[in-house]
Amino acid sequence: MKTITLAAALLAMAACHHDKKPTTLPQPTPDKPAATEQKKPEPQVTQDQQVSPNLALAGDIVALCGIKAGATANPSFDYNKDELTPEDRTVLDQLATCMMTGALKGKAVSLIGRADPRGTEEYNLGLGSRRAESVNGYLTKLGVGQPQLAVTTRGALDATGTDEAGYAKDRRVDVQLKQD
């Protein structure tokens, strides 16, 4: 009986025994960097750049597409207006080309309409929407497909202006890469 118990104990210990690998990670050396977890890198979004009177593009879009800013870089949709200027159209022409055949081919962008803080919240949301829609309509006429364009408005929700110069900066459409 003792032999059976001893044999069973030895079998149990043998079954549980593994060659354990060290639990410490190998130290990196100059020729062998440390292993890193494969994670999708966050997009490098620099500050929005004003590229025409009424448009601010995310820095990554400007860099990827090589978009050249218009002669004047002060945002200024006229008060209560949503019409694009010739400079806006020049920038949007570059953006459309990039979205159809360049670095942004197949990628989506958000068109975010903004307004200054004067007026009611409802009015400003509508005005911001009309401004974003004017950009959307122009890009659509140039051939950019609708799945690539997401129109939204923030109205005056993020407005910072307290005088006419500040209000002018609030009246714009921001164009940003749409995050999945």
Q: What is the CATH number of the domain that holds 154?
A: 3.30.1330.60
Residue 123 above 70 pLDDT? yes
Q: Which amino acid belongs to residue 141?
A: K
* Percentage of the chain lying above the pLDDT 70 cut: 69
DSSP class of residue 147 equals G
Domain assignment present for 23: no
Domain count within the chain: 1
Domain membership of residue 21 (yes or no) is no
Domain enclosing residue 124, as ranges: 50-177
Q: What are phi and psi of 149, to 5 degrees?
A: -120, 125
Query: Tell me, what's the pLDDT at 48?
Result: 72
Model confidence pLDDT, tens digit, residues 41-54: 333 334 677 777 78
Q: Are 73 and 52 in contact (CB under 8 A)?
A: yes
User: Which tens digit of pLDDT belongs to each residue from 166-175?
Assistant: 999 999 999 9
- pLDDT category at 35 given cuts 50, 70, 90 is very low
- Provide the pLDDT confidence category of residue 15 given band limits of 50, 70 and 90: very low
User: Do the domain assignments include residue 30?
Assistant: no
Q: Is residue 80 part of a domain?
A: yes
52 forms beta bridges with: 55
Supply the pLDDT for residue 76.
62
Residue 6 lies in a domain: no
Q: What pTM was computed for the model?
A: 0.69
Nearest to 136 by CA among 77, 170, 92: 92
SS3 33: coil
Between 64 and 42, the higher pLDDT residue = 64
